[in-house]
């Protein structure tokens, strides 16, 4: 801290007079916007990669949490920022594939951003309270058909909201929106608590959000949406259950800039991400929390997000979940 301060003061005179025209990107700290609050999944992921990434970039990364409206407030800051590569966004599945697929009211579309990478994939799991007496998806579906089943989410347009409806739809529940009640909560932590205290019957969310509850025996996992099993989650995978369509249902974190981000800046980010993700410490910390590290090139990231968005959008239209007005 002290070093940083001294260094900063020392370069003050230089920076004030230095010409900016021919300098190479980056020549000053980069502002990284996190559109969710401190302590959340995106925040922890962003701050974990910030360390190796900062080393790769060679300039400080300034982390700014801009929260509100399910990630929309922070995303708009980057949408409207100058496309000079000094304002970048940690985009998340909720803000950049579920919300655009679901909300007509969203102040941005996917076309307003240029993705430079997706670096982390989070499997999704569904869980119930052990006291509910439900032990498998089939038992849950049977209960849904009886009525009175509900699921919690961290808000309208979140991954959890879509996941609950998508899973029920895949298991052949007709009109999942009325068969099961969606009870939105104010955040991911509250959503898990709602299942703990019996407010909602089940929850489908990232395994990292459920890991400690599952380890403590407070929640019982009944489905993992990846084809591969997830450590610590003793539940059938989508492959076991024969539902390959559910593999689209994963969380991810990526980095994006405004739509007009120049090519050379995007290429730089590709380079840096390659270096940062090689950091063993980073990989260990992320995998410990149940994430899969998989650094995508800008092109791959765009295809990946576009595909997920299309499939979510089709589902939203099929179920009539679109939010207008």
Partner 1 sequence: MSMIDSLLAGLSLVSNVYAFLALFGGIIIGVIGGAIPGMSATMAVALTLPFTFALQPITGILLLLGVYKGGIFGGSIPAILIKTPGTPASSATILDGYPLAEKGEAGRALGMALWASCTADLISNLALILFAGWLASFALSFGPPEFFALILFSLTIIAGVSGDSLLRGALSALMGLLLATIGLDLVYGTNRFTFGSPNMMGGLNFIAVLIGLFAIPEIIAMVWNPTAHIGKTRKLGKNWVTFEDYKNSFKSIVRGSFIGVFLGSIPGIGAAPSAFLSYSEARRKSPNKKNFGKGEIEGVAAAEAGNNGVAGATLIPLLALGVPGDVITAIILGAFMIHGLQPGPMMFVLNVDIIYGLFIGLIVSSIFLFLVGSVAIRGFKYVADVPKRILIPGVLVLCIFGVFAVNNNIFDVGVMFAMGWLGYFMMRNSIPAAPFLIAFILGPLLEDNFRQSMLMSGTDFTILFRGPITWFFWAATIITIIAIVRSTIAGRVKTTPQ
Partner 2 sequence: MTAKTIHLRLGLLACAISLFLIFFAIPYWVSSPSNVGKVVLSPLFWPYTISALTGLVGILLFIEWWRTPPTDERINEPSDDTRTAMLRLLGMAVIMVLTMMLLPVLGMVWTCMLSFISTAFLVRTRHPVTAVICAVVIPLLLYVFFAHVAGVAIPQGDFVRLP
> What does the binding site for partner 2 look like in residue numbers (CB under 8 A)?
1, 4-5, 8-9, 11-12, 15-16, 28-29, 31, 62-64, 323-325
Closest CA to 270 of 82, 77, 100, 116: 116
CA 53, 56, 60: angle at the middle one, nearest 5?
65
Q: Which partner in partner 1, partner 2, none is near 28 (CB below 5 to 8 A by kind)?
A: partner 2
Q: How far is the CB of 232 from partner 2 (least distance, A)?
A: 33
Q: Which partner in partner 2, partner 1, none is near 4 (CB below 5 to 8 A by kind)?
A: partner 2
Q: How far is the CB of 302 from partner 1 (least distance, A)?
A: 23
Q: Which partner in partner 1, partner 2, none is near 275 (CB below 5 to 8 A by kind)?
A: none
Q: How far is the CB of 315 from partner 1 (least distance, A)?
A: 16
Q: Which partner in partner 1, partner 2, none is near 3 (CB below 5 to 8 A by kind)?
A: none
When the beta carbons of 157 and 298 are compared against partner 2, the nearer one is 157
Residue 86 has, within 13 A of its CA and on its CB side, a CA count of 9
When the beta carbons of 10 and 198 are compared against partner 1, the nearer one is 198
Q: How far is the CB of 5 from partner 2 (least distance, A)?
A: 5
Q: Which partner in partner 2, partner 1, none is near 40 (CB below 5 to 8 A by kind)?
A: partner 1
The alpha-helical segments, DSSP class H, found in 172-297 are 176-179, 188-196, 207-215, 238-241, 263-277, 280-288
Do 293 and 119 contact (CB within 8 A), yes or no? yes
SS3 220: strand
When the beta carbons of 33 and 116 are compared against partner 1, the nearer one is 33
φ and ψ of 203, to 5 deg: -145, 140
Q: How far is the CB of 203 from partner 2 (least distance, A)?
A: 21
CA distances for 244 relative to 226, 238, 239, 241, angstroms: 9, 6, 6, 8
The alpha-helical segments, DSSP class H, found in 58-157 are 72-79, 93, 99-102, 137-146
φ and ψ of 157, to 5 deg: 85, 10
What is the rounded (10 degree) CA torsion for 283, 285, 291, 295? -30
Q: Which partner in partner 1, partner 2, none is near 5 (CB below 5 to 8 A by kind)?
A: partner 2
In the structure encoding, which two tokens stand for residue 223, read together?
């489905």
When the beta carbons of 47 and 313 are compared against partner 1, the nearer one is 47
Q: Which partner in partner 2, partner 1, none is near 8 (CB below 5 to 8 A by kind)?
A: partner 2
- Beta pairing partners, 30: 61
CA distances for 126 relative to 169, 209, 215, 226, angstroms: 14, 11, 14, 11
When the beta carbons of 136 and 285 are compared against partner 1, the nearer one is 285
The residues that touch partner 1, with contacts defined as CB under 8 A, are 33, 37-40, 43-44, 47, 51, 64-70, 72-73, 76-77, 102-103, 105, 107-108, 150, 155-157, 181-186, 189-190, 192-194, 196-199, 211-213, 215-218, 285, 288-289, 323, 325
């Amino acid at each position: 801290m002290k070093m940083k301060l001294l260094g900063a003061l020392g370069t003050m005179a230089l920076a004030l007079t230095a010409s900016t025209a021919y300098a190479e990107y980056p020549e000053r700290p980069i502002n990284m916007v996190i559109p969710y609050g401190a302590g959340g999944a995106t925040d922890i992921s962003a701050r974990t990669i910030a360390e190796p990434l900062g080393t790769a970039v060679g300039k400080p990364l300034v982390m700014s949490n801009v929260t509100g409206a399910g990630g929309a407030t922070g995303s708009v800051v980057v949408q409207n920022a100058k496309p000079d590569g000094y304002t970048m966004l940690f985009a998340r599945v909720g803000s950049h594939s579920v919300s655009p697929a679901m909300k007509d009211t969203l102040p941005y579309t996917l076309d307003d951003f240029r993705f430079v990478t997706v670096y982390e994939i989070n499997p999704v799991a569904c869980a119930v309270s052990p006291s509910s007496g439900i032990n498998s998806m089939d038992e849950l579906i049977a209960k849904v058909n009886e009525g009175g089943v509900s699921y919690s989410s961290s808000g309208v347009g979140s991954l959890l909201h879509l996941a609950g409806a998508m899973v029920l739809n895949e298991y052949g529940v007709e009109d999942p929106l009325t068969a099961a009640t969606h009870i939105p909560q104010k955040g991911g932590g509250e959503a898990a608590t709602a299942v703990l205290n019996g407010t909602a019957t089940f929850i489908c969310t990232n395994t990292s959000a459920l890991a400690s509850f599952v380890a403590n025996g407070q929640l019982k996992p009944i489905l993992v949406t990846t084809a591969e099993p997830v450590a610590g989650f003793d539940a059938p995978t989508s492959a076991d259950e024969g539902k390959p369509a559910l593999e689209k249902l994963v969380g991810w974190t990526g980095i994006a800039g405004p739509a007009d981000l120049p090519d050379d800046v995007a290429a730089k980010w590709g380079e840096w991400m390659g270096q940062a993700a090689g950091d063993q410490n980073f990989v260990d910390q992320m995998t410990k929390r149940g994430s899969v590290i998989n650094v995508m090139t800008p092109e791959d990231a765009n295809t990946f997000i576009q595909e997920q968005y299309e499939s979510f959008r089709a589902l939203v239209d099929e179920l009539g979940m679109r939010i207008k007005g």
